[in-house]
Chain A
Amino acid sequence: MSTYLIKRLLEMIPTLFGITLLSFVIIHLAPGKPTDIFTELNPKITPEARERLEKLYDLDKPIIVQYGLWLKKIVKLDFGESFSSDRRPVMQRIWDSKKPLLERRLFVTFMINLISLVIILLIAIPVGVSSATRRNSLYDKITTTTVFIGFAMPHFWLALLLMIFFGVYLHWLPISGLKSMNYDSLPVWGKIWDLARHLALPIFVSAFGGLAADSRYMRSSMLEVIRQDYVRVARAKGLSEREVIYRHAFRNALLPMITLMGLSVPGLIGGSVIFENIFGIPGMGQLFYMSVMTRDYPMVMGILTIGAILTLLGNLLADLGYMLADPRIRAT
């Protein structure tokens, strides 16, 4: 087991190296430079000024040298400094340990994604199971249609409709940001309530959109399991339908969900740009988008590298999870 783990971890190193090299080359291939925000079509800027700026950011060096410089820092776990004009360290912009949790981008995105993931699982699993056991019934059709509507509906459009209805028309919910202006003066429960009101719409929109995938996975995995011999045996033993489904079939049908969970690990830190922009949520999606638009290379590379590490770890965790949950895999 431990040799397996070490082997897997060592394998991750060249993969990670390849990912960072590719990412680095690709973002540098995109036209434009980080200095463009100052210099593009701004008549106050002379070519000399632009060259000076490019030199300050090492942009005058060949791309492979720039990658080497970046790599030299990253092996020391130093993500470098953002090219944005305040030159803050990349890590500080993602996770500013001097600020309260709600002002750290990674925390905000993580919190929202985790809550919405839990909600999705809490709804998708029962929905998937029940629509599988009642396959092709009216219930199955209604739930299928509903989750697909959620999947197909453009997020930004649903978000705007909800904002108009609950915010502008009913005045029930705030529609932008994370907290109200008087947040700091509220008692603890008041703070939680304020936060909940601000998060209600974003979490609803993201959960509604995510239901389809998980509930459909659950449904098809359940359908597959129900057809297995051991389920037939359980039925033949005369167990009640309830016991057949929930004790025998359900636990096996959950196995593919482990893969799904493993895959959603990197998703927990990658916020959706559209969604964070619409609700004015200061999360990772916004940061990544802004960094790409301003060609803030260290920032983009930092987020991509963290994402890559989490993806690889997520895969590993999923495999380990399988080994723990399924004796058949452990044996091989």
Chain B
Amino acid sequence: MLMLIVSVTVIASCKEKPAATVRTASEVNGNGPAYGDALVAGTIGEASILIPMLAGDSASHDVSGLIFNGLVKYDTDLSVIGDLAESWDISNDGLVITFHLRKGVKWADGVEFTSEDVMFGYRTIIDEKTPTAYSEDFRQVKKAETPDKYTFRVTYEKPFAPALTSWGNLVVLPKHLLEGKDITKTEFGRNPVGLGPYKLDKWISGQEVILDSYKDYFEGRPYIDRYIYKIIPDAATMFLVLQTGEIDMMGLTPIQYAKQTNTDFFKRNFQKFRYPAFAYTYMAFNLKHPFFQDKRVRQAIAYGIDKGEIVDVVLFGLGSPATGPYVPNTWPYNPAVKKYEYNPEEAKKFLKEAGWEDTDGDGILDKNGRPFKFTILTNMANTLRMNTATIIQWRLAKIGIKVEIRVLEWSTFINQFIDKRRFEAAVLGWSIGLDSDQYDIWHSSKTKEKEFNFVSYNNPEVDELLERGRRTFDIEERKRAYFRLQEILADELPYIFLYVPDATPIVHARFKGIKASPIGISYNLPKWYVPKGLQQHTMEP
């Protein structure tokens, strides 16, 4: 805190003194946190709307995430901590959650934030007329109340563990500005008033979104005065723009991280980060297909694929082999499941047990006269997945399985093949939510068209575990359920879990205070700063 006061004084005094003195002052005092400067982040996609509950794209969520806060948020170790809620109580039966809100938090227009704003957001999100995709978690709520200005209470039919974290920034909206208005028709979506660390200054379609720091932010004024999203739709261009200094931050591709940013120029001017992304890539089997109904065949294929090789070749080592649907080093991740180290002999043995042998000597296994040939589908414009499929094709050829690869445009791929179950195997990826509930992906009731258990996986024990995991708030009990879930999945292999890629952002070296964590780097953005002597963009008054 002392440091902070010192820097403020420096800023204040700078204004009156001649430039030369400023320089000395900043050199003396140049390393501590200081207000000022702007961070320019490159982004491929442009935000479409800045009301979180209406936004479907990640660009919109990125920007609106800086403008709106939620009642709760994730800490760096994935535990849930208070944000606008100071604390909360969960009743013993897990049905009632009572949030105690912070007092004195103000919207950017000066009006105080109260429980009425949460109530308003909740009512809006469950309104039939609101075109939101996120209402389901809130439809589980039986009753919502605001006993007083700073208390918000919800009652559920059944205990529902993901419920707590659903009270993030989707449902906090300024009632005093939006009440009685059609949320789809107001200018609010392009000109929002929030209470987060940044507020919208200017949004120029197709060019940039400029955010100014909110000086009265309840956790303290962010150090960096401006946060600018510069829209650069082409990935190759973005990397060039990074080198000209027009942007300060972007996500690197594996090849850029591993091969193209090791020069002195990059080492001098940039800092690179690396942490597992909340996503994994997998090969899914259509479990209705006769080839893949036998567990031994799926296990054989797992033995026949070298995951480490895929990580090394496709990701230049920037990732880790996946063993299940969770990210390593997070609480639900079970490190002790069956791993299937690459072992072609074991693979052949399993296939033989399952009745697959090369009887006609053409190099391809067969059974009852049918050769073991199948097609892997994947989507266009994702080179990582295409390369992965190619390596799998090559490896499986060595154990006598002939694989074709078919690359499809995304909409066709999903609508015509995955949704209609017209596939044998597919290489795809999931981004996983921070909550560990994966009911929709593995539960046997979720196999209808357009639902997400598209491999038609059906295991009563798994169903039971998924139920148990989402019906309790006790983290130890959830952990037990999800550990067991991973053991079963690793044994039965409805998917072959291939890899968890690393997120690899790069940020200009003048930004200090960035600490990579399991949830990324941007969680403490308001605390990033540029020491006075290194600041580049000065603000006009």
The interface of chain A, by Cβ under 8 A from chain B, is 30-32, 36-50, 52-53, 56-57, 84-88, 93, 96, 99, 103, 105, 160, 163-164, 167-168, 171, 174-179, 181, 185, 276-283, 286-287, 295
Contact = CB atoms under 8 A, between A and B. Distances in A.
- What are the 5 closest A-B residue pairs judged by CB atoms, nearest first? A282-B206, A32-B411, A38-B133, A38-B56, A43-B440
Nearest to A88: B190
Contact of B207 (A40, A46, A282): A282
A87 B184 contact: yes
Contacts of B410: 32
A56 B189 CA distance: 18
A31 B416 contact: yes
A53 B133 contact: yes
B318 interface: no
B133 A280 contact: no
A42 B416 contact: no
Nearest to A40: B414
Contacts, number: 151
A177 to B, nearest CB: 6
Given A175-B237, A177-B232, A178-B207, 9 more contacts: A37-B56, A45-B136, A57-B131, A86-B189, A88-B190, A163-B240, A176-B240, A181-B40, A282-B231
Given A86-B190, A286-B233, A44 B241 contact: no
A41 B455 CA distance: 13
B204 A37 contact: no
B440 A176 contact: no
Given A44-B134, A168-B243, A277-B233, A85 B60 contact: yes
Interface of B: 38, 40, 48-49, 54-57, 60, 128-129, 131, 133-137, 184-185, 189-190, 204-208, 228, 230-234, 236-238, 240-241, 243-244, 246, 409-412, 414-416, 418, 428, 430, 433, 438, 440-441, 448, 450-452, 537, 540
Contacts of B246: 174-177
B205 A31 contact: no
A50 B240 CA distance: 40
Nearest to B53: A85
Contact of A47 (B54, B204, B416, B451): B451
Contact of A30 (B49, B128, B411): B411
B48 A177 contact: no
A86 B131 CA distance: 10
Contacts of A96: 205
A280 B205 contact: no
Contacts of B131: 53, 56-57, 85, 87
Nearest to B232: A280
B133 A39 contact: yes
B433 A44 contact: yes
Contacts of B415: 31-32
A259 to B, nearest CB: 33
B416 A41 contact: no
Nearest to A281: B206
B248 to A, nearest CB: 12
A56 B184 CA distance: 11
> A36, A38, A178: which has the most chain B beta carbons within 10 Å?
A38
Contacts of B49: 84-86
Contacts of A47: 448, 450-451
Contacts of B537: 181
Contacts of B230: 176-177, 280
A85 B448 contact: no
Contact of A52 (B128, B205, B234, B238): B128
B140 to A, nearest CB: 11
A43 B204 contact: no
A114 to B, nearest CB: 19
Contacts of B416: 31
A103 B433 CA distance: 36
Given A31-B415, A164-B240, A167-B244, A42 B133 contact: yes
B133 A49 contact: yes
Contacts of A56: 129, 131
A96 B190 CA distance: 13
18 contacts: A31-B412, A32-B415, A36-B414, A41-B418, A45-B133, A47-B450, A50-B133, A57-B131, A85-B54, A85-B189, A86-B54, A87-B131, A99-B205, A177-B230, A278-B237, A279-B237, A280-B241, A282-B205
A48 B206 CA distance: 33
A108 to B, nearest CB: 8
B244 A171 contact: yes
Nearest to B448: A47
A270 to B, nearest CB: 16
A45 B502 CA distance: 26
B262 to A, nearest CB: 17
Nearest to B50: A86
Nearest to A290: B46
A84 B48 contact: yes
Contacts of A179: 207
Contacts of A41: 414, 418, 428, 430, 452
A53 B450 CA distance: 14
A98 to B, nearest CB: 10
B133 A286 contact: no
B204 A103 contact: yes
B411 A85 contact: no
Contacts of A49: 133, 135-136
A221 B212 CA distance: 59
A234 to B, nearest CB: 53
B440 A278 contact: no
A160 to B, nearest CB: 6
Nearest to B166: A44
Contacts of A53: 131, 133
A43 B540 contact: no
Nearest to B228: A181
A163 B243 CA distance: 11
A44 B166 CA distance: 11
Given A31-B412, A278-B234, A105 B133 contact: no
B316 to A, nearest CB: 22
A264 B244 CA distance: 35
Contacts of A36: 411, 414
A277 B205 contact: no
A99 B190 CA distance: 13
A326 B226 CA distance: 61
A193 B409 CA distance: 42
